[in-house]
Chain A
Amino acid sequence: MSAPFYKLGAFGDEANLIVAFFIGIGFGFFLERAGFGSAKKLVSQFYLNDLAVFKVMFTAIVTAMLGVTYLSWVGFLDLSLVYLVPTYWIPQVVGGLVLGVGFVVGGYCPGTSVAATATGRLDGLVFVLGFAAGTLGFALAFPLVAGLYTAGDLGTKTLPQVLGIPYGALVFGVVLMAVGGFVGATWLEKKMAPKAAPATATE
């Protein structure tokens, strides 16, 4: 095993922050390339006329998932050293629903609002300020929501463990699901396109 490099001591904390900055550059670059600095592009996902959010997200998930699976299979990457957010299913269900509402109301998510701000979108900057205010509000109200925050603690759990399906089989299943989703998404975009076309032409 030679990776993850930082966790195995290949470089220190200071260098790790420089690595973070460069990884961030790649992150922001591809978000903007995909059009995710634009709220209108992002929310089109929820009006079904442009499903790029789903396509980009699941292509990225599949790419990273296959990479991680392969690199751990050949003994290069120790997957047990890669950080997993523990599952607290109750706040994650509630948080997911609230975040979804915030997405279609605000037009961005945290990462994409940074890309929007960087490319001059004022609504992106205002979203960032709203996000900061919401974070402060959550922190101040934390004693009230601490019970919800720690409810449904299942520890660190992966889908293969919970479903009792071998890791490789589930990876294959996710790939199939993604490819099926891409075909369905493209079909849906074509179906929704005739309605959208006259609307943009008359603007």
Chain B
Amino acid sequence: MASVTHDVVPEAAAERAPAAQPYTNPYLAGIGLGLVLLAAFVLVGRGLGASGAFNSSIAWLVSLVAPGYARSNAFLAGYLEGGTHPLKAWLVFEVAGAFVGALLSGLLAGRVALAVEKGPRVSVAARLVLAFVGGSLMAVGAALARGCTSGQALTGGSLLNLGSWVFMMCVFGGAYAVAFFVRRQWR
């Protein structure tokens, strides 16, 4: 583990961790990701996801604090159905695996380092505030859309799902529309 770097640039990764290897060719990584997704379709009959794991976790936490309310909330109740524990959900286990898989890949490539990803013109505090705000916005977007970049764009995209393609175009549209206004955070 390297020390905290305030300005991590992928191209300059060698500065913080001499052993860091370059990223895999995007087409090769894409084929790998596509085969994992295909394995999910064949083995389980569903695709990848991420936001659903957060929904299950929040539903479980709320049910600990206010069980009656959690069951009466139409959004949370969907994640509390059935007799099993809310965390015994497919996406919770899949996301736990994703954490392990990313750590494994990062360790093999020497890319695990305590760091904050940001451009040179923004403070660490500002970057962390924006990460929190961006995460919150994305949660609202993913909840409304019934999925995120994994569950909708990637999974639904490969199944030629109508709503997924509509969603994917809007994601790129929304991001390009505001990229100019937050450029100081990154460049």
Contact = CB atoms under 8 A, between A and B. Distances in A.
A120 B37 contact: no
Given A21-B96, A111-B148, A126-B132, A33 B24 contact: yes
A95 B103 contact: no
A137 B141 CA distance: 12
A28 B139 contact: no
Interface in A101-122: 101-122
Interface in B135-181: 135-179
Most A-side CB within 10 Å, residue of B42, B131, B136, B170? B131
Contacts, number: 549
B170 A6 contact: no
B163 to A, nearest CB: 3
Nearest to A5: B43
A85 B149 CA distance: 13
Given A59-B31, A110-B138, A128-B135, A158 B162 contact: yes
A118 B100 contact: yes
Contacts of B187: 47, 199
B171 A96 contact: yes
Contacts of B90: 16-17, 20
A199 B121 CA distance: 12
B179 A104 contact: yes
The number of chain B residues touching the other chain, given as a range, is 35 or more
Contacts of A183: none
B139 A137 contact: yes
A114 B155 CA distance: 18
B161 A85 contact: yes
Contacts of B114: 120, 122
Interface in A127-150: 127-140, 142-143, 145-146, 148-149
Contacts of A41: 10, 23
Contacts of A89: 162-163, 166
A120 B3 CA distance: 11
B40 to A, nearest CB: 5
Contact of B157 (A47, A61, A102, A116): A61
Interface string B111-128: 111111111100000011
Given A21-B93, A35-B23, A119-B106, A110 B38 contact: no
A104 B173 CA distance: 11
Interface string A80-98: 0111111111011111111
A20 B44 contact: yes
Contact of B106 (A59, A77, A91, A118): A118
7 closest A-B pairs (Cβ-Cβ)?
A: A106-B134, A24-B97, A100-B174, A59-B30, A63-B34, A130-B135, A96-B170
Interface of B: 1, 4, 7-12, 23-24, 26-27, 29-48, 50-51, 53-55, 57-59, 61-62, 73-76, 84, 88, 90-91, 93-106, 109, 111-120, 127-128, 130-179, 182-183, 185-187
